[in-house]
Amino acid sequence: MTTSLDSSTQQRVDQWLGGNYDAASKESIQHLIDSGNITELTDSFYRDLEFGTGGLRGVLGVGSNRMNRYTVGAATQGLSNYINAAFPGQDISVAIAHDSRRMSPEFARLVADIFSANGIKVYLFSSLRPTPELSFAIRQLGCQSGIVVTASHNPPEYNGYKVYWNDGGQVVSPHDKAIIAEVSKITSVDDIKFDGIPERIQLIDEEIDAPYVERVKSNAVNPDVIKRQANLNIVYTPIHGTGITLVPRVLDALGFTNVHIVEEQATPDGNFPTVKSPNPEERAAMQLALDLANKLNADLVMATDPDADRVGAGARNHHGEFELLNGNQMASLIIYYLLNAWKDAGKLTGKEFVAKTIVTTDLIDKMCERYGVNCYNTLTGFKYIAEVIRELEGKEQFIGGGEESYGYLIGDFVRDKDAIASCAIIAELTAYAKDQGKSLFDMLMAMYQENGFYYEALVSLTKKGKSGAEEIQQMMADFRANPPKSIAGSAVVRVDDYKALTRLDPSTGQTSVIESGKMGIEPSNVLQFFTEDGTKISARPSGTEPKIKFYVSVVEPLESKEAFDDTYAQLKAKVQRVIDDLNLN
């Protein structure tokens, strides 16, 4: 029955059937063979599940290309080998957390067992916890590394894990590629030390929860405002994820007394039964929260993803309707609020900084320039922001930062995007606006009036399979060979190529170098076009999906609040002209 499998796939199937694997796994494989399900069999075994620069992610199930005890075990054994080699002669420890997904607790315990079997001390959270708390725990406990078992906001059939280093940030160069090399050396299930040593595994919970909550609470810049606006009407949903463990607790610790949880989504559940996708970037995932917010006439609605590193938020607009703010808008509002608060408190000395990714709105750069605060731009991925924080530790003070994909960070005690701390600061800045008789949306419009109305849109083109991958490569090659001279009627004045690390001035034809080794920057397949009228387009093939993404940013002055709707319509039309001009439909 397996004759239609190619030789390498067949070899992997045979290895599992004949190797030291458990009986249930072998029965599952035999069932696929007996039922003639060649498609599923092929997808499960045609390759080894890739351990990428951030860790593992894949569909749950039996096989070399699935998330299971053997693929997770091989990855963890390789990581154990690397950690032991990287810290010779030291007492090594790691911290482990997991989210609410199917098999997450089991994988977390498995990973703990393997680390302990390799002579490594393990701090294992006793139950599910948010990703940012894992980052905090690494620093709090002085660990050399850490793991969080999660597949972020992927569909229910996925799981994975992310690897962190001793600074609390996700692994970056040179460790990322060196870990991949070690993992690739684990070629047999017999190489994996499955038998844990219980004395090396310590359960943790409140001893990390309490100091983490205190640190988040210390981010508050206007506690008196919170006292006056303690009754701020907040609706929150964890979308069946880990946020339920800490978001209500943090809001309560800050003094907010009128927080309503979406009960249908309050219980952690890896099947995410009330949503198609547990992604707060999608309105559908927040619909139950919006319904409750309308019913209760709430001031603010917030939703966190399953591992609570991203947050979506909405507030009533000037028409009285709930409007969800996108990642660029919320990142900008957080930085706008913090810059003003730091200035009012006399804390801006010229040695403060903000960090964001190159595809995130330039409104943040503009505001930082106005306040004399450095703004560092990194490649896409919060690990690069964490790298900047690490490099500048003791030299400059981090205020906050973020990325357009709904991830933000306030303060440096966590080194990854933090939806718990973000919910706290979003509630505070909403309270601050209300204290002045305004709404969060009023604050957004005031920010645009002061700095320009920046509007961003993401165009994501899906190109599946081998032909799709080739088409994406060709699109990037064509843009490099023939960059547009103008876009939507405005001349292109700069082209940044992060693959070659070069910057082109089209008016002179001269190129300069984007410094290699600059904080948060390394060669990456990203192109950016800047036009005379302030439009910016970033082209970036996805590293995890069969997609090419185009980030479009346009800007116009906002003369008054009354002009908001007309200006918004102009900006949307401008984005559509860009899309038409570059054939991105």
Mean pLDDT in the chain? 95
Calpha distance 432→224 (Å, rounded) = 10
Q: Considering the chain, what percentage of its residues have pLDDT values greater than 90? A: 91
Whole-number pLDDT of residue 4: 80
The answer to whether residues 258 and 233 touch, using CB atoms and an 8 Å cutoff, is yes
- Residue 35 annotated as catalytic: no
Average pLDDT over residues 111-115: 98
354 vs 335: CA distance, rounded Å: 8
Query: Which 3 state secondary structure label does DSSP give 494?
Result: strand
pLDDT at 487 over 70: yes
Res 2 pLDDT > 60: no
Asked whether the beta carbons of 20 and 189 are under 8 A apart, the reply is: yes
Residue 461's pLDDT is 93
519 contacts 391 by C-beta, under 8 angstroms: yes
Question: What is the per-residue pLDDT for 3?
Answer: 53
For the chain, what's the residue count? 585
Strand 201-204 and strand 121-125: the pairing is parallel
pLDDT (tens digit per residue) in 274-301? 999 999 999 999 999 999 999 999 999 9
pLDDT at 515: 74
DSSP state, 60? Answer: B
Q: What per-residue confidence (pLDDT) applies to 546?
A: 81
Going by DSSP bridges, is the β-strand pair 453-462/547-556 parallel, antiparallel, or unpaired?
A: antiparallel
Average pLDDT value for residue range 515-526: 81
pLDDT at 413 over 70: yes
Q: Which of 152, 174, 111 is nearest to 281 (CA)?
A: 152
Nearest residue to 256 (alpha-carbon basis) of 442, 429, 436? 429
Catalytic residue (choose from 100, 152, 332, 538):
152
Tokens of 572: 């949307």
What is the rounded average pLDDT of the residues 417-442? Answer: 97
Token code pair at residue 387: 């790298």
pLDDT average, residue stretch 431-460: 97
CA distance 376 to 428: 25
Determine if the pTM surpasses 0.85.
yes
Longest dimension (CA), the chain: 74
Q: Which residues of 216-242 are buried (b: 16+ CB within 10 A; e: fewer)?
A: beebbbbeebbeebeebbbbbbbbbbb
Crossing angle of helices 419-435 and 327-344, rounded to 10°: 70
Contacts of 433 (CB under 8 A, 6+ apart): 439, 440, 442, 443
What is the strand order of the sheet 322-325 is part of?
259-261, 234-237, 300-304, 311-316, 322-325
Q: What is the pLDDT of residue 372?
A: 96
What fold does the segment set 453-582 form as a domain? TATA-Binding Protein (3.30.310)
Cβ–Cβ under 8 Å, residues 4 and 51: no
What SS3 state is found at 574? helix
Q: Enumerate the domain spans of the chain.
A: 47-204, 211-220+228-450, 453-582
- Helices then strands, each counted (H, E), the chain: 18, 23
Return the half-sphere exposure (C-beta side, CA atoms, 13 A cut-off) of residue 314: 27
* Segment 190-206 mean pLDDT: 98
Q: How far apart are CA 164 and CA 530, in angstroms?
A: 35
More confident call, 6 vs 291: 291
Say yes or no: do domains 47-204 and 453-582 share a fold.
no
Q: For residue 373, what pLDDT band results from cuts at 50, 70 and 90?
A: very high
Q: Where are the beta strands (DSSP E) in 154-214?
A: 158-165, 201-204
pLDDT at residue 50 in the model: 87
Is the CATH code 1.10.390.10 the one for domain 47-204?
Answer: no
Residue 1 has pLDDT above 50, yes or no: no
Alpha-carbon dihedral angle through residues 293, 298, 300, 302, given to the nearest 10 degrees = -30
At 335, the amino acid letter reads: I
d(CA 308, CA 332): 20
What SS3 state is found at 449? Answer: helix
Q: Is the pLDDT of residue 585 over 90?
A: no
* Banded model confidence at residue 29, pLDDT cuts 50, 70, 90: very high
Predicted confidence (pLDDT) per residue in 202-250, tens digit:
999 999 999 999 999 999 999 999 999 999 999 999 999 999 999 999 9
Q: Are 456 and 358 in contact (CB under 8 A)?
A: no
Average pLDDT over residues 184-199: 96
Pick the CATH number of 211-220+228-450 from 2.40.160.100, 3.40.120.10, 3.40.30.10, 3.30.365.10: 3.40.120.10
Distance CA 308, CA 131 (A): 6
pLDDT at 514: 85
